[in-house]
Structure 1
Amino acid sequence: MIQEKLNSYLAFVETGEILESYPAAEGRSIKLVVICQFEPDEEGARFLSLRREVIKNAGLDFGYRVENI
């Protein structure tokens, strides 16, 4: 599910749709952040690390943080 969401966000940026919706984003850096309710386990951390590389290669920044909601 997270992969699908990240793919949607990447497409939103890469197609330029973000600039149609948010013209003020022109020339600004973009960071995708996943907010986790709990600290990811080893498999989850590996997944996020791999996504970070793909997203950085697309020219965006990526991170995650834990927030106990």
Structure 2
Amino acid sequence: MSLDQTNVVDAIGVDEATGELVLTITDHLEWTVRVDEHLLLLQEKLKSYLRFVESGEMLEVYSDAKGRAVLIDVVCKYPPSQLALGFYNQVAKIVDGAGIKLQHRLFSAD
């Protein structure tokens, strides 16, 4: 899966350490070109994830999700730009209001 497929949940699972349900977005795009398009794709993907959680579809697809805190984990291939960091900070505040955590991180092969 990838950021281009905005209506698809890339990965879903439970973090054994925290018990959180983790919904992963894989972001393979660079932040050096077409930044506006990149942000738009990321925004659309996040909207899809929020709909997935808030509509109850998450519980239908993944029954182990019931009663778990939700974390959206954006795993980036490339370091985010300053504009992207600002976007992540704004979105984190919004989704936090819905009881969902958001984090972003660089992919590490370790």
TM-score (norm 2): 0.60
Q: Report whether the alignment pairs 1:34 with 2:74.
A: yes
Q: Report whether the alignment pairs 1:12 with 2:52.
A: yes
Q: Report whether the alignment pairs 1:58 with 2:93.
A: no
Q: Would you say the 8 A contact 1:38–1:68 is kept in 2?
A: no
Aligned to 2:88: 48
Unpaired runs of 5+ in structure 1? none
Identity score, percent: 36
* Amino acid aligned to 1:21: V
The 1-side partners of 2:90 and 2:55 are apart by 22
Which string of whole-angstrom CA distances, capped at 9 and with x for unpartnered residues, describes residues 4-41 of structure 1? 00000000000111001111100011100111112211
Aligned to 1:22: 62
Greater fraction of residues in helix = 1
The 1-side partners of 2:86 and 2:104 are apart by 12
**More contact order relative to length (CA 8 Å, sep ≥ 6):** 1
The 1-side partners of 2:82 and 2:64 are apart by 38
Greater fraction of residues in strand = 2
Aligned length, in residue pairs: 69
| RMSD of aligned residue pairs (Cα, Å) | 1.2
Displacement over 4 Å in runs of 4+: none
Unpaired runs of 5+ in structure 2? 1-40
* Amino acid aligned to 1:24: D
What displacement does 1:68 show? 5.5
TM-score (norm 1): 0.93
